[in-house]
Amino acid sequence: MSHQIASRGSPLKRVKVVEFEGIGPGPLAGLLLTQLGAEVTMVARPSPGDLPKDLTPREDGLLSRGKRRVVLNLKQEDDRTRALEIVAASDGLIEGNRPGVMERLGLGPDVCGQLNPRLVYGRMTGWGQDGPLAQAAGHDMNYVALTGLMSLTERPGHPPMLPPTVLGDAAGALGFALGMVSGLLAARESGQGCVVDGAIVDVLAMLSPLVQIISASGGFDPGVPSVFHDSPFYDRYICADGRYITVGAIEPQFYALLLQRLGLTDVVLSDQMNRSTWPALKARMTALFASHPSAHWTQILERTDACYAPVLNLTEAAAHPHNVARGLYRVTPGGDIETARGLRFLALTDRAADV
């Protein structure tokens, strides 16, 4: 039986990180590091940021949870000196400004590196520290569009789409956090820090090998029906109650089970990849799923190898039995849905858990 490790469940327990207040992926990366056990001090601006009020995170919101907040005006010498004192006592630094801003404030890598040679200086941006777009503004969908990944969601008659802030900002933050941890590990071994150039476009390119492999094999060729857009066994379907469900039964054995559970026993299994049969079967499955509410299909298909999941809203996701069992979300007294934890770190053996 696995046990949560109290002493080792926070692998970055003694790591100190200073985060200079920003928006989007920078604060999220700081949160990810706190969830891994790091002690994060956020240097906040004395005035509100540039985001519209409706999109500005609350001071006590999730992105600030577990961080120590210090308000400093970095344009004033005394406050800048205080910031440098925090940097000197830190293992890592996170900043999300445009290239050159921290240098103009006297807080660039050269200054901080001379003060603290072991420092891992993390720079979280969309376009990176150099390149033709380095000084241009951008947001999540711009980065996803430029890397080619957004085009993969385009279907005939439907524009490309993606979940807001997830694939660009959040994935960028996760990749950046990996870079910070890697830099911290190297600094611990060598005594020498580094600069982590955490460009979202770089992280998205890192995430692309699987789709590049599929593309190289013709899986996304224009004019050729794609498993991911046109097949009947990998799609979302609307049900009688207006809710959507998803099936993704790509493997032949999973496809066979899906057909069996749907009562489509007359479908020829060996024709799964016969693209000429897809339109008729998709029309048949569309009508079938639309004949019953989504709860009906959940009862028939969930917890099987038919590769099924209903499309839930955020409130429903927080209440789903699997997510509850995993402890993924919590509901605040005000009714907001929040992610409850980061990765779990468990004992390798039962004996280790008792040590």
Q: What are phi and psi of 334, to 5 degrees?
A: -85, 0
pLDDT at 3: 40
**What distance in Å separates the CA atoms of residue 66 and residue 5, rounded to the nearest whole number?**
20
| pLDDT at residue 207 is higher than 60 | yes
The rounded percent of the chain whose pLDDT value lies above 90 is: 79
H helical segments located in 229-301: 252-262, 278-289, 294-301
pLDDT at 162: 87
The pLDDT confidence band at residue 5, using thresholds 50, 70 and 90, is very low
For the chain, residues classed under CATH 3.30.1540.10 are: 234-311
Catalytic one among 3, 79, 130, 139? 139
Catalytic one among 78, 110, 130, 169? 169
* Residue-wise pLDDT tens digits, 112-124: 999 999 999 999 9
For domain 234-311, give its CATH number from 3.20.20.100, 2.60.40.10, 3.30.360.10, 3.30.1540.10: 3.30.1540.10
| pLDDT at residue 315 is higher than 90 | yes
Task: Identify the three-state secondary structure at position 330.
Answer: strand
- Which candidate, 111, 124, 122, 114, places its Cα nearest to that of 17? 122
Mean pLDDT for the stretch of residues 175-202? 97
Prediction pTM value: 0.89
| pLDDT at residue 333 is higher than 70 | yes
Ranges 149-153, 322-326, 347-351, most confident:
322-326
* Residue-wise pLDDT tens digits, 45-103: 998 766 565 556 676 788 888 999 999 999 999 999 999 999 999 999 999 999 999 99
| pLDDT at residue 294 is higher than 60 | yes
**What distance in Å separates the CA atoms of residue 74 and residue 54, rounded to the nearest whole number?**
26
For the chain, residues classed under CATH 3.40.50.10540 are: 16-206
Give residue 66's region: left, alpha or beta (phi > 0; psi -120 to 50).
left
First to last CA, the chain: 15
Check if 322 is active-site. Answer: no
pLDDT at 55: 56
Instruction: Please identify which residue in the block is written with the tokens 């039995």.
Output: 321
Mean pLDDT for the stretch of residues 200-207? 96
The pLDDT confidence band at residue 223, using thresholds 50, 70 and 90, is confident
Check if 350 is active-site. Answer: no
Q: What are the structure tokens assigned to 295, written together?
A: 């709860």
The rounded percent of the chain whose pLDDT value lies above 70 is: 93
pLDDT at 153: 87
pLDDT at 2: 39
Mean pLDDT for the stretch of residues 151-174? 89
pLDDT at 1: 34
**Do the Cβ atoms of 238 and 291 come closer than 8 Å?**
no
pLDDT at 76: 96
pLDDT at 355: 39
| pLDDT at residue 247 is higher than 50 | yes
- What's the chain's average pLDDT? 91
Question: What CATH topology corresponds to 16-206?
Answer: Rossmann fold (3.40.50)
pLDDT at 185: 97
* Residue-wise pLDDT tens digits, 104-159: 999 999 999 999 999 999 999 999 999 999 999 898 989 998 999 999 888 878 88
pLDDT at 52: 60
